[in-house]
Amino acid sequence: MEHVRPLPTYLAQRYHGWKATTFAENRAWYKRLADEGQRPRAMVISCCDSRVNVTSIFGADQGEFFIHRNIANLVPPYEPDGNQHGTSAAVEFAVTSLKVAHLIILGHSSCGGVAGCYDMCSGHAPDLEEKSSFVGRWMDLLRPGFERLPAEADETTRRRALEHEAVNVSLENLMTFPFVRSAVENGSLSLHGLWTDIGEGQLYSLGISGEGFAAV
């Protein structure tokens, strides 16, 4: 592996600082997590975006959230075709092995993946339509959301609505997984949809009242 480089020095230094403080103060908890395995209460599916850290927002500690992060926090529909589905594998593991009680989809403002999908579906991003574009093919998952955007609204409204749809579509697709539907229906799993405005630090949740997202 001639292309692999050692950890940059500044990260090594910060790691040593973490080990001497956070780790040292929580050594017993880390030992127990290592000995007994994880037992997370919730799975969170959020975006890879560097500005969205769910553990920070919820003051979560090691062992609390099983976290899958992909572009635009998307879940594909159930498709047991023998191919590789990383997101479906994560959901399967969380629900059937770890038996998490909550499954949270967390969307966010100014999402680059959603913006690319909007441009692509509007015919303004031919590069994303290429068969070889991984981002384009991944964002195909959100096309059903684009189809139901309010036609008469202005573009800013429609782009924001598509970010909300990334949460809605994922929640809908989750219910196509037999083991998710069954866990939801027998009361051992609940689904949640969140969306956060990065600049305002405001979190919105589905299911608080009527339809749509409401401020937490």
- Residue 152 or 209 having the CB closest to its own copies: 209
C-alpha–C-alpha distance, residues 100 and 193, integer Å: 16
Shortest distance in whole angstroms from residue 151 CB to its own copies: 22
Shortest distance in whole angstroms from residue 126 CB to its own copies: 15
C-alpha–C-alpha distance, residues 16 and 10, integer Å: 10
From residue 157, alpha-carbon distances to 31, 153, 154, 162 in Å are 49, 6, 5, 9
Query: Does the footprint of its own copies cover residue 156 (CB under 8 A)?
Result: no
Give strand pairing partners of 197.
202
Among 107, 153, 192, 195, binds its own copies (CB under 8 A): 192
| Region from 58-66, 118-126, 144-152, 155-163 binding its own copies, contact rule CB under 8 A | 58-66
Q: Looking at the chain, how many residues does it have?
A: 216
The token pair that represents 198 in the structure block: 């990065």
Considering only residues 90 to 149 of the shown chain, the ones binding its own copies according to CB under 8 A are 90-94, 97, 99, 101-102, 104, 109-110, 112-113, 131-135, 137-141
Shortest distance in whole angstroms from residue 139 CB to its own copies: 8
183 Cβ contact partners less than 8 Å away, ≥ 6 residues apart: 95, 99, 189
- Residue 67 or 149 having the CB closest to its own copies: 67
| Region from 27-35, 118-126, 150-158 binding its own copies, contact rule CB under 8 A | 27-35
Shortest distance in whole angstroms from residue 58 CB to its own copies: 5
How many binding residues for its own copies (CB under 8 A)? 127
Is 48 within any annotated ligand binding site?
no
Among 21, 122, 157, 182, binds its own copies (CB under 8 A): 21
3 state SS for 107-150:
EECCCHHHHHHHHHHCCCCHHHHCCCCHHHHHHHHHHHHHHCCC
C-alpha–C-alpha distance, residues 196 and 47, integer Å: 11
Query: Does the footprint of its own copies cover residue 158 (CB under 8 A)?
Result: no
| Region from 78-86, 117-125, 143-151, 153-161 binding its own copies, contact rule CB under 8 A | 78-86
The token pair that represents 200 in the structure block: 């305002």
CB 63 within 8 A of CB 42: no
Query: What is the C-alpha R_g of the chain?
Result: 19
Among 69, 119, 144, 160, binds its own copies (CB under 8 A): 69
Is 47 within any annotated ligand binding site?
yes
Annotated binding site: 47, 49, 108, 111
